A and B are shown apart, each in its own frame.
Chain A
């Protein structure tokens, strides 16, 4: 990998970096980007999802509501976090915390890193589709500045469920896709081993998404990927989040909501 970074990485190479076991996760962000964090638990309806967490956080002196998917490090932590695959409770907790942001006049910063929403029978029974759908609707009219950071894997609806906002940032080696390359390959190529080709075709890397007008800004990573120098990567994230929050603060909430609506309505208008 180190040798390859000297050359142009393929989309499939970038998928591997995005999924790297040592890639900075939400715990690292809380530890190194935030000076304070108060986790807030529970959706008040059923439970407390460990795959999607949130709370009050302070970033460079700015008080925010932070939400984010949680991938663990190591097997035990990953089982606890369900590998970053959120359940309906996670999306509903996120909505509850975003409501608090609106009430307390705080911006929302959302960190996205999930293979996708959890595809389990209990998640279906408790309304995975409804939970995501309501977040999409809710986030489109939330009266708070919202900065989204696609950190690792932006897995389809499970990512989008906390990824509607005013500024969409994406780490250089993150990916964001409607379906996993493996899933796409097995459906459209009828051959899971064609995942590298599907990854290329789906245009899931940050530069492609910037060209398509889906993301606003690419956050640079150290050569070889964020895991090679987490402190440097996290410093870049902090810098980008603060710069965007400062810009959004200058815009009135009415204008912000209008711009957010126009931003998403324009996606896929050719």
Chain B
């Protein structure tokens, strides 16, 4: 699915993926620089491609303002998990090598239009953005840091849900993160949840859905159960727009759908309403 893959019908002169990107949705050829400058949003069809944690930080915060904390908290393997394709420990190492991060979320302080916030940004490339114990711990500590600094908390979710490889310990991260957010709210501080493609399962059923505001990017997949499981349960085919951000908004679970290029200013505006 990577837009770096050279498509079969690529222009003959196209030397490499350094020149051309291909929109994963409409398959349009886009100069890589245009694609990057647009934050990986397709100029032709408005498709919002998934971003890595670092890319997300770049489009959402003031340049150079992100100061990461707790980067040493990494993956735990409480079950010593192994399946048919190998050990969880090895998969986690590979994910860390691929993303340059120790967990599926990056946390730190940052500025959004000069407003200082505590920010947590999930990275779908790290084991599908799954919620492991290291992920949960980083998010809990981010919420506690926001309380200590009296700053708003912003979480950008991108996750397939719980991390099966950590079993029940993963499930408990849902309760743990929500407990930390409840405390942040009791302290009267804003929590803005940004749901990006995809936000499903245990992440949608915990911190991602309890923002003071829940905001999503256009067409992001948002839901609890997987489409296939639901289709098997109800023995019916689901409509194409099922579990899209637009569907979620119309059912009352989002405040706003905000295009990526407007996201930073939108968040800043909300924070100003919240007194920051």
A contact set with B: CB distance below 8 Å: 117-121, 123-130, 132-134, 136-141, 156-157, 160-161, 163-164, 176-179, 184, 187-191, 194, 198, 201-204, 209, 212, 214, 260-261, 264-265, 267-270
CB 8 Å contact bits of B130-158 with A (1 = contact, 0 = none): 00111011001000000000000000000
B168 and A120 contact, CB distance less than 8 A: no
Number of interface residues of B (CB under 8 A): 61
A214 and B172 contact, CB distance less than 8 A: yes
Which residues of the other chain, A, contact B238 by a CB distance below 8 angstroms?
121
Name 20 A/B residue pairs within 8 A (Cβ), A-sorted: A123-B224, A127-B253, A129-B205, A129-B208, A132-B205, A133-B210, A136-B174, A136-B205, A138-B182, A156-B202, A157-B174, A160-B172, A164-B179, A178-B168, A184-B164, A188-B85, A188-B165, A191-B84, A268-B134, A270-B133
Q: Tell me, rounded to whole Å, the shortest Cβ–Cβ distance linking A80 to chain B.
A: 17
Contact of B83 among A139, A156, A189, A270 (CB under 8 A): A189
A140 and B230 contact, CB distance less than 8 A: no
Alpha-carbon distance A151/B164, docked complex (angstroms): 22
B171 and A157 contact, CB distance less than 8 A: yes
Additional 7 contacts, C-beta under 8 A, given A121-B238, A128-B225, A214-B168: A119-B224, A134-B209, A157-B171, A178-B162, A209-B168, A268-B133, A268-B134
Q: Tell me, rounded to whole Å, the shortest Cβ–Cβ distance linking B157 to chain A.
A: 11
Which residues of the other chain, A, contact B162 by a CB distance below 8 angstroms?
156-157, 178-179
Contact count A vs B, C-beta below 8 Å: 183
Contact of B230 among A124, A138, A270 (CB under 8 A): A124
Which residues of the other chain, B, contact A126 by a CB distance below 8 angstroms?
251
Which residues of the other chain, B, contact A119 by a CB distance below 8 angstroms?
224-226, 229-230, 233
Which residues of the other chain, B, contact A124 by a CB distance below 8 angstroms?
223-225, 230, 242-243
Which residues of the other chain, A, contact B204 by a CB distance below 8 angstroms?
129, 133
Contact of A140 among B134, B175, B201 (CB under 8 A): B175
Which residues of the other chain, B, contact A184 by a CB distance below 8 angstroms?
164
Among B14-22, B30-38, B74-82, the stretch that binds chain A is: B74-82
Which residues of the other chain, A, contact B201 by a CB distance below 8 angstroms?
157
Q: Does B181 interact with chain A (Cβ within 8 Å)?
A: yes
Which residues of the other chain, B, contact A214 by a CB distance below 8 angstroms?
168-169, 172
